[in-house]
Structure 1
């Protein structure tokens, strides 16, 4: 069952508090999937602990997994199958339509407040390191090059040995940004623990509900790409669009900082 069906199926077993949360989710699932937990808690008049208990009662490991699964369900239910065409030769239209739909779903999973918070951390950090392995390293390199054009120095690192060296030198004045589509803990779980030991703030941009996401200061959940609809679609298109969104906010903050410096 999808998350909404699970809520409806278990509704009779909910406490009064859980009924309030359930009604909120069923009434506006997109808002629940998109809003930070603080906003949802305030809207329901509950607590973070109540939200976590509610998610676990539905069978999820926690609140983050519930939000992720709900986001994924909403995204998939809004897609049309680009391979299901009555016309035999619609390759260009099918692929471009799918990319447009996938990119548009960023509006459903990411808020501008999340982007601005991450942008402020990057602008005001002493050093910025962007960690990315395999294909996500392309988006990381793009972000590094584009940030340099607006006066923000950073390093994108895709070598695991160099990652460890960089992490050992980072502290509370720095910012570490991690790009990963889906990580099973092999690459980043231990490294995130080391960054936290050093007091370094961490930003995570992912397409999956990762167990170590709660250990990161800022988390951006990009919409997952469903391979069932289009096996040739690459997640990197979503990451590159997110890079443009982040750069827009970085440029605004950098300009404001320069104006403040001139007036001081």
Structure 2
């Protein structure tokens, strides 16, 4: 039973009244533009088509969307060539056009208020992963970057997802022990070298991973190098399995085809 189920009727009416008063003073706006919408954390009718949502058909392992219909369960060439460290990865939408703008607004525009609405999109995309997980963890930020940005966007998404799915969230279990440069210009082998030893289990999290199915949360899946580094650490610590759920994913020209 949720705590809200035990509240008296007047408390629910009061909360609804306060919400209505707040909407009159500050009408909810589209997450991507300033158009008024019916509730916070929504997209307006004009902005909705600007996002390319990831749906079937997609690779059952990495979640890369296919451009044409394919047989169910067909694994993409990249995953066949080198299986990822994670079990499954899914994303709400492609990191392009309106999707890129929405991520950057949240991540670099200090729009932390968007986290609950964005988490709802992730929740819809990752229902199967959330149903199977025992624990939700965000990809950690190095303390230097966290100090400059003032928040970990992945932790905000993980916290909001935990509330929606009713799953426990640990923000202090994974830690980034060493600052690393941007990985975009590096090849696969170099990325793995850069990330070697950069991520670990915190002292507070030792013993809390063994036998549990973990859902790792991040904002964008690009090469998958950071997610894979986190997964390897968790699997070595005894996790039963690790899946990855992100807000967006990069799809290159050579991907999304078959």
With the length of structure 2 as denominator, give the TM-score of the two structures. 0.35
Bigger strand fraction: 2
Compare relative contact order (CA 8 Å, sep 6+) and give the higher one, 1 or 2.
2
